[in-house]
């Protein structure tokens, strides 16, 4: 965790921002929950457990700042709420993909890059340099399918 804090501190300092205690709380919450897709409200509720004086507006501003500096990425899974996840741990230029259950809302991460062949074809055919892609697949998770079968 200290390596991540140092890395974010360097990013912020290079753009003339400081690592405030509030920003560090937000970063720690995102790091501690990197396997989840937290909304701003989720982050706020977890930050409040660390420091009750941190306000919701501060959390929103911090998430926006971190997003602008590619420290985190925001995603929309079709439910009208932005979700956030830390990107520093996986900064290879590609995002992972998500399976989204339309029944219960569960989000499953796929770490396989299924679109490499497609990217290559697009690059060759259209002479287009791809910097990133995102794939969301909607359906029903194993639990919801098995509940329906009973």
CATH label of the domain that carries residue 10: 1.10.10.10
- Of 45, 70, 91, the one marking the end of a domain is 91
The dihedrals phi and psi of 7, each to the nearest 5 degrees, come to: -65, -45
| One domain for residues 73 and 10 | yes
Mean pLDDT of 11-17: 94
In a shared domain, residues 43 and 58: yes
Give residue 93's pLDDT: 52
CATH number of the structural domain spanning residue 131: 3.30.1490.190
Paired residues of 72 in beta bridges: 86
Q: Which domain holds residue 141?
A: 92-150
Annotated binding residue 116 = yes
Least confident of 14-18, 28-32, 132-136: 132-136
Q: What is the rounded distance in angstroms from the CA atom of residue 62 to the CA atom of residue 40?
A: 10
Q: Is 37 annotated as a binding residue?
A: no
Does 97 count as an annotated binding residue? no
H or E stretch covering 122: helix 116-126
* Residue 141 is labelled as binding a ligand: yes
**Given a cut of 90, is residue 128 above it in pLDDT?**
yes
- 28 annotated among ligand-binding-site residues: no
Tens of pLDDT, residues 64-112:
999 999 899 888 877 778 889 888 755 555 567 888 888 888 888 887 7
Q: Which of 22-31, 38-47, 51-60, 98-107 is predicted least confidently?
A: 98-107
Whether residues 5 and 65 fall in one domain: yes
Q: What is the pLDDT of residue 12?
A: 93
Give 148's pLDDT tier (boundaries 50, 70, 90).
Answer: confident
What is the spatial order of strands in the sheet that 97-101 belongs to? 107-110, 97-101, 136-139
């Amino acid at each position: 965790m200290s390596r991540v804090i140092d890395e974010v501190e360097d990013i912020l300092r290079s753009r003339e921002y400081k690592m405030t205690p509030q920003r560090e709380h937000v970063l720690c919450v995102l790091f501690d929950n990197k396997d989840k897709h937290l909304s701003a409200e989720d982050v706020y509720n977890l930050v409040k457990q660390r420091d009750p004086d941190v306000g919701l507006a501060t959390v929103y501003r911090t998430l926006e700042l971190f997003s602008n500096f590619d420290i985190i990425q925001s995603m929309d899974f079709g439910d009208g709420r932005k979700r956030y996840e830390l990107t520093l741990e996986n900064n290879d230029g590609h995002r992972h993909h998500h399976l989204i259950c339309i029944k219960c809302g569960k989000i499953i991460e796929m770490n396989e890059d299924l679109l490499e062949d497609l990217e290559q074809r697009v690059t060759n055919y259209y002479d287009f340099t791809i910097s990133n892609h995102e794939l969301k697949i909607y359906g029903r998770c194993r639990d919801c399918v098995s509940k329906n079968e009973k």
